[in-house]
Structure 1
Amino acid sequence: MDSSPAQFFKDLASKNSSDAPLVCYAANMLSSNGMLQNENPLDYTFPLFLFQLIIILLTSRLTAFILKPLRQPRYISEILGGFILGPTLMGSVPAFTLTFFPLRSLLVIDSMASIGLVFFMFIVGVEIDPDVVRRVGRRSTLLTIVCLIGPVLIGVLAGIILHSRIQDGTQRGAFVTFLCGILCVSSFSMLARTLADIKLIASDIGRLVLSSAMITNGLAWVLMVFSTALAQSKGKALSAIWSVISGGVFSVVVYMAVRRAARWVQKRTPEGEEVAELHVCVILVGVMVAAFAADAIGTHAIFGAFVYGLAVPNGPLGELLIEKIGDFIEGLLLPLFFAVSGFRTNLYSIVDAGAVFLLLIVVIGAAITKVTGSVLAAFYMEMPFHDGISLGLLMNTKGIVELILLNIGWDKMVLRDQTFTILVIISVISTTLITPLINVAAKPSRRYVAYKRRTIRWWNPESELRMLICAHSSREVPSLISLLDISHPTKRSPFFVYALYLVELTGRASTLFVVNTNSSSSSSLESHRAAPNAGGAGFIRHQSESEHISHAFESYEQHAGGVSVQSLTAFSQYPSMHEDVIALSEDKHCALIILPFHKHQTIDGTMEVTHPAIRCLNKNVLAGASCSVGILIDRSLAGTGARAQRYAVALLFFGGADDREALAYADRLATHPGVALTVVRFLPCIGAGGSRRRQDRVVDVAGENDDECLAQFQANGGGEAEYVERMVGNAEETVAMLREMEGRYDLYIVGIGEGMASPLTAGLTEWSECEELGPIGDLLASPDFGSRASVLVLQRGKYREGSEEIEMSGGAVVLPMPAGSGK
């Protein structure tokens, strides 16, 4: 029994009508009267479809759960779920097929799957920014050409040679053209999600490969239209050319008409409000109109939906449409398409083992030519070798787009059952293997292995200090700008600040939306979208908030000297948000990350939790960042010092690497004319006389100790900083000394003291509420302490073993030590 109703009736048409079975439908077959009336619900169309949908969803979700440790994309689990239910496994059991997937029900599943596929391709089109194609530069063009030459040549030669063996009875020209398209295509949606997962979506490699993939996808669609038209016209090239031309005219007309209509809708929507429900309904109906028109002119319905989606402009309208239908389509209807693909994939249809080997060689050869071409292009563009490998592997990303093309080829009788099954299996295997290879070859940490000592202390004071300042709302911006201002950027010692607005993404997993605003050069927005859904009204609100933050930093940049600011907005889920922060800091070679505390001050002066997930974010950044990290506990820093026109700052020095990093940061504040800095060193004492205890000279891995760092600070002048020493015997005396300092300062700076065991703080960690701040930072931030001063806690960037350091103007470049090195 064939798995497709369309193919079934095609087979019947070629037989004698007297031999054809007669299928009768009763008028009341839609729904049953219930089991209490002794009726089987599975004998009726609607209950049967609901039960089939439950089986398909449960099978795909169970497969996804089993494959979760392997970190495979969702596409793999869903297509494997279709294999399980198809004729290869469960479908080979007659009782299972006749009971749960009878022939009369397949037409309903196929139709619903097609509807889901139409709207999914609409979503893919909305996600893509067509303006990227217009901005394609020389590098993207070069990468596209070298990645197309090899697959096209191999497709032509293999198609001519293999046609007579595996495609007997089909049109040869259509098969050759179709095979070229399959070998060239790169799944844009899966590629974007992969780049988002490995945090390369906003990198140079990410932009380069996405723009190239868009061009190769466009070519693959053209080849698909040409090959299917060639097959339907029995090899008439002129008819196929007219189909391509009509498809091109259709694309232009739809794009221009929908683009203008969508912009009209945007103009009629007040700023900050959602698009009217009527307009959304009309746009969604237009998807089906475009799909119908595309099918009517002989291309394909999903092609019309894809072009229609491309015409929807980026911004709130596109995000709202994705929010309305995205989860429903991808979570409920799209699995039906994978199930149908599984029904069509029948291992028992493979009768020629040599055909499997030959097609496997063809696919592997095309993949190798892509990698080779990417390496050569990377060499020409003076990119590292491993970046060329990464580009090649990323350009080989397959997925749902390839599966869609294969199903179109099967529907249009370009592919036979055996060829379809072989190519689907090869697609699944290649995707399974390429995904982990990409994660290894394009792992972000490999790109930053040369930049390992990125701290304030080891940064050349006369070079540009790069900082990443994060904010969760515009409320935090004034104090962050005040902290930046008293850090005293000058033209001689400039700062380059990346102001990152962090937004919680509540949509699907593997989703990242980054908006870059280069305020120093223009006010234009450049969007890199990996996948949907910042969410309609939420997106509008966050866009407005992002503009306020960007304008605040831009205003400060214009009025301050020695500061360059680039504002960015990152949409990410909280569990992976720290990865985005760390990846951006490494990509931009930042020496310091400033994070807001997870609590903010209310009107009555108490501290209230902003979002509990922010604390987890801060802890993860502290644990994973290779550069220095600071957490600002803000108690109106922007107002206290500004009212007095002078900030009173205290550096609390207990010793250790983190305190030395805090000292280096305070050294920059000391030169500011509006800052009165006091360095308070706490020293242990013994005996009734309170004499200073003799300490051993402790040298850390960087060859530093506290006395030398303080001596160097004083020798350099330390601005007009006051230096005092306080003798304390235990933690109780430390707390008492800190209480004596209440009310004197606007800002405390202290190191976290990670890994430090000091008698001066012994026992404080047992009562810590926020251990990530360190014992002293937690004490100063505690509401029980009663201080009204803001607190900045710092952690020095982590050193890595097995490296030697070479001083550079912007810090230290760390190179791997050769094996057997004596140093």
Structure 2
Amino acid sequence: MDPFSVFDTQRNDGYITYAGMLSTLAITAFSHKVLVNRKVGLLAENSMRANLGLGLALAATGSPMLTRLSTELKLSKTAVGQVAIQAGIFSDMVATSLMCLGNLIFHDDSMLSYSEQRYHPFYVALIVVQIIILVTASKWVLRKINDRNPEGKPMKGIYMIGLMTAVLSICFLDKQLHMDINLASFMIGLALPREGRVSRLLINNINFFLNSVILPVYLVNICLSNTKFKFHLSTQVDTLINVPLSWPKLFISIAIGTIGKIFGTVISARLYGMKWLDGIALGQLLSTKGYFHIFCAYEAWNHLMINDSTFVALLYMIFVTLAITPLVGYGIAAWARRKAMSRLMGLQFHMSEAELRLMVGLHGPQNLPIMLTLVEAVRWNKEPGKVTLYTTDMIELTEHAAVTLIKGDGQEGIEVMDEEVLEMRNHIGGALNMFQKKSNDEVNMRRLLAVSSFDDMDRDICMCADDVKAVLIILPFHKSQRIDGSMNTGHAGFKLVNEKVLQHAPCSVGIMVDRGLGHTNQGSHSLVGKNVVIVFIGGGDDREALTLATQMCQHPAIKLTVIRFLPDVEALVRESPRSHKFSNFTQTFVSKEDVQMQLDNEFFADFYNQ
């Protein structure tokens, strides 16, 4: 994120962040006497740096954890979830910047020699100069590297090695200037721009290794630290993990962090027109903590600003906030999608003069030709601009993809910075732009993103269809055709998604089995001489299929054939219930069948009139 965005006066999420952080700092200041209490207080040192550091840590938001939870809980598509992701990143950046600044101002001079204390102002000045040079030069350097390594070509290793060497050299220099090396790495992360191929590669390669290996090992190392020589603990307490939990300290830390964040967030959210419940939920989401808070607590413990029991209480506080957030998430999802009455959504209930909204799911670029051929057939008799196609990229949320999630600028609120995913989405985007130009911009294009595990991806798709009021969802078949014409074994994950969408979709669903139609040409030429056959047995699903075929047959290159199967009336008359026990059930079944038959007849009458 651009650090200069803190001066942007047009950002509502910035004001919400400032309000939540300031209210938390204010409550921390008002609770000063409780915080320095020897029995239940959180602070072992009554100083300005200890109070400000604790308040800032409680006011900050763990944005990586919040982004991951919002994605898995399907909150990134809600208004509250999108604001939470943006405000969380903003809060994380502001807190990191202030923590780096505080490390320079409130440096522990007792750890320096007399000569080093004399040169401390000079060290601070050098670090400030380094920050200015880093912010101004990093964009120019990375832009040059991006220009010499265009998209589609392998990144030259010499540039990545040189970049990592420069980062390590800066951290080493900051260490010599008596700045915390961890905060130096945070500062470098703020200076590097988010855009560009180099930044994406750093996110892909470093974040996955950092979240999978380094940070878990870092947490284990903290919990197994030996502390009895610092605070003269009992000989039975050998490691920090064995320190008993202080419930009053846990309650105080949760109360200050949560109440302060919710109070400021609700007030600012109300000023921008949000509802009370949405403001409370937003404040609770912004109370999420993460690895940054573990680092802050560990540094405070190392510098004797807090004792062992306080550190353990802060660790438990972080875990509690992560446990509460999913509960709030489910509440937000239920509240945002509540409905008094659900309207009928399907092609047969669609008004011909209204906008036709279709949603297609894509596993990759290979699904586009057949999908665009179908859209070309359906949109033929529509006025320009009356057809909107929502293409949804179906991305599995793996561990590698999860660590590359960042705040997005579109409707989704998130983006996946994985190199393979970005390349796939760019190919799809290029094909869609080409199709839109061939159709003379008569079809509106919208891009959506479903990032989830296969177990929950159906919720993403159904929620997207509900949000855009789509009348038809078209998903690719989980199997694909081989060269010899047979089908491969397919993907079990996409098969599960298709089955769940068929059960829970808010509108009609079609599964597209690709047999090669449309792969030679995209557009009207791929439809020349095509025959569409509808096998009509009866019922709502068959009426919906016939409605789609009716839309397609308006295209002059398509010929429609409808085969309707009718029951033998004389055979039905001769049949009788085998026993009196099932007579009521049979009569009920026959009555429902008669209703469906009547609807089918009326539907066919309208079809013939057209």
Cα distance between partner residues in 1 of 2:264 and 2:250: 21
The separation in 2 between residues aligned to 1:629 and 1:136, in whole angstroms, is 45
2:542 maps to 659
Whether the 8 Å contact between 1:652 and 1:680 is mirrored in structure 2 is yes
Distance 1:293 1:272, change over 3 A: same
| Counterpart check, 1:230 vs 2:106 | yes
Q: 2:498 aligns with which of 611, 618, 621?
A: 618
1:154: which partner in 2? Answer: 27
Give how far 1:643 is off: 5.8
Residue 175 of structure 1 and its aligned partner are, at CA, apart by 1.6
Q: Could you give the per-residue CA deviations for residues 108-159 of structure 1, whole angstroms, max 9, x where no partner exists?
A: xxxxxxxxxxxxxxxxxxxx57697687844313322331232011111223
Q: Which has the higher helix share?
A: 2
Q: Label 1:349 to 1:568 Cα distance change in 2 as closer, same or farther (>3 A).
A: closer
TM superposition shift of 1:673? 4.3
1:338 aligns with one of 192, 210, 219:
219
- Map 1:308-707 onto structure 2 (within 5 A): 308-310=188-190, 311-343=192-224, 346=240, 357=248, 360-361=251-252, 363-432=254-323, 434-443=324-333, 446-447=336-337, 449=339, 451=342, 453-488=344-379, 490-491=382-383, 494-504=386-396, 507-508=399-400, 510=402, 529=414, 534-535=418-419, 538-539=420-421, 541-556=423-438, 558-559=439-440, 561=442, 563-568=443-448, 573-608=453-488, 611-638=491-518, 642=525, 645=528, 647-685=530-568, 696-698=590-592, 705-707=596-598
Question: Following the alignment from structure 1 to structure 2, what is the Cα–Cα distance between the partners of residues 527 and 627?
Answer: 21
Residues 100 and 187, structure 2, Cα contact 8 Å, conserved in 1: no
- Select 1:145's aligned residue among 14, 18, 21: 18
- 1:108-257 equivalent positions in 2, closer than 5 A: 137-159=10-32, 162-163=35-36, 165=38, 166=41, 170-228=45-103, 229-230=105-106, 232-233=108-109, 249-257=129-137
Relative contact order, higher structure (CA 8 A, sep 6+): 2
1:390 CA drift (Å): 2.6
SS in 1 for 2:515: coil
Task: Find the aligned partners of 2:474 and 2:215 in 1 and give their Cα distance.
Answer: 42
* Cα distance in 1 between the residues matched to 2:569 and 2:185: 80
> What SS is found at the alignment partner of 1:564?
strand
* Structure 1 CA distance for aligned equivalents of residues 388 and 5 of structure 2: 27
TM-score (norm 1): 0.61
RMSD between aligned residues: 4.1
**CA separation of 1:599 and 1:129: change in aligned 2, threshold 3 A:** farther
Equivalent pair of 1:226/1:240 in contact (CA under 8 Å): no
CA contact (8 A) 1:465 1:496 kept: yes
1:97-108 mapped onto 2 (5 Å cutoff): none
Judge conservation of contact 2:194–2:200 (CA < 8 Å) in 1: no
Deviation, 1:246, is 6.7
Q: What does the per-residue CA deviation read over 1:73-124, in whole Å, with 9 as the maximum and x for residues that have no partner?
A: xxxxxxxxxxxxxxxxxxxxxxxxxxxxxxxxxxxxxxxxxxxxxxxxxxxx
Paired with 1:574 and 1:696, the residues of 2 have a C-alpha distance of: 40
Alpha-carbon deviation of 1:300?
2.2
C-alpha separation in 1, matches of 2:310 and 2:28? 14
State the AA in 2 paired with 1:653.
F
TM-score by length of 2: 0.80
Task: Tell me, in whole angstroms, the C-alpha distance in 2 between the residues paired with 1:341 and 1:493.
Answer: 60
Structure 2 SS opposite 1:258: helix
What 5-or-longer segments of structure 2 have no aligned partner? 111-118, 226-238, 577-586
- 1:601-650 CA-to-partner distances (Å, cap 9, x unmatched) read 45554444564543333223223322221111233333698367354323
- Find the aligned partners of 2:121 and 2:81 in 1 and give their Cα distance: 34
Q: How does 1:673-822 map to 2 (within 5 A)?
A: 673-685=556-568, 696-698=590-592, 705-712=596-603, 714-715=605-606, 719=610
CA distance in 2, matches of 1:515, 1:138: 14
User: C-alpha separation between the residues in 1 aligned to 2:384 and 2:209?
Assistant: 56
- The 8 Å contact of residues 187 and 402 in structure 1, kept in 2 or not, is answered as yes
Alignment-mate amino acid for residue 179 of structure 1: L
CA distance in 2, matches of 1:549, 1:621: 26
- AA in 2 matched with 1:683: L
2:148 counterpart letter in structure 1: R
CA distance, structure 2, for counterparts of residue 517 and residue 652 of structure 1: 45
CA distance in 2, matches of 1:336, 1:292: 22
Q: Match of 1:277?
A: 157
Alpha-carbon distance change, 455 to 134 in structure 1, aligned in 2, over 3 angstroms: farther
CA distance in 1, matches of 2:36, 2:122: 25
**Alpha-carbon contact 1:685-1:692 (below 8 Å) kept:** no
Comparing 298-307 with 441-450, greater Cα deviation is found at 441-450
Q: Is the 8 A contact 1:600 1:610 kept in 2?
A: yes
* Counterpart in the other structure of 2:579: none
Equivalent residue of 2:400, what SS? coil
How many residues of Structure 1 are paired with residues of Structure 2 in the alignment? 571
Indicate how the Cα distance of structure 1 residues 560 and 617 shifts in structure 2: closer, same or farther if over 3 A, else same. same
Describe the shift of the 1:608–1:461 C-alpha distance in structure 2 as closer, same or farther (beyond 3 A): same
Change in 2 beyond 3 A, CA 1:454/1:474: same
The answer on whether the counterparts of 1:174 and 1:226 sit within 8 Å (CA) in structure 2 is no
Q: Per the alignment, do residues 714 and 338 of structure 1 end up closer, same or farther by CA in structure 2, a change over 3 Å counting? A: same
Q: Does the 8 Å contact 1:291/1:304 carry over to 2? A: yes
* AA in 2 matched with 1:147: G
Contact 2:62-2:92 at 8 Å conserved across structures: yes
| Distance change >3 Å, CA 644–CA 224, structure 1 → 2 | closer
CA distance 1:692–1:642, shift in 2 (3 Å)? farther
3-state SS of 2:566 partner: strand
Following the alignment from structure 1 to structure 2, what is the Cα–Cα distance between the partners of residues 414 and 463? 66
The CA distance in 1 between the partners of 2:252 and 2:510, in whole Å, is 54
Name the aligned partner's letter for residue 278 of structure 1: I
Instruction: Tell me the distance in 2 between the aligned counterparts of 1:317 and 1:503.
Output: 22
Residue type at the aligned position of 1:677: L
Distance in 1, Cα, partners of 2:58 & 2:121: 21
Contact 1:467/1:496 (<8 A) preserved: yes
Q: Provide structure 1 residue ranges, at least 5 long, that are not aligned to the other structure.
A: 1-127, 519-525, 720-823
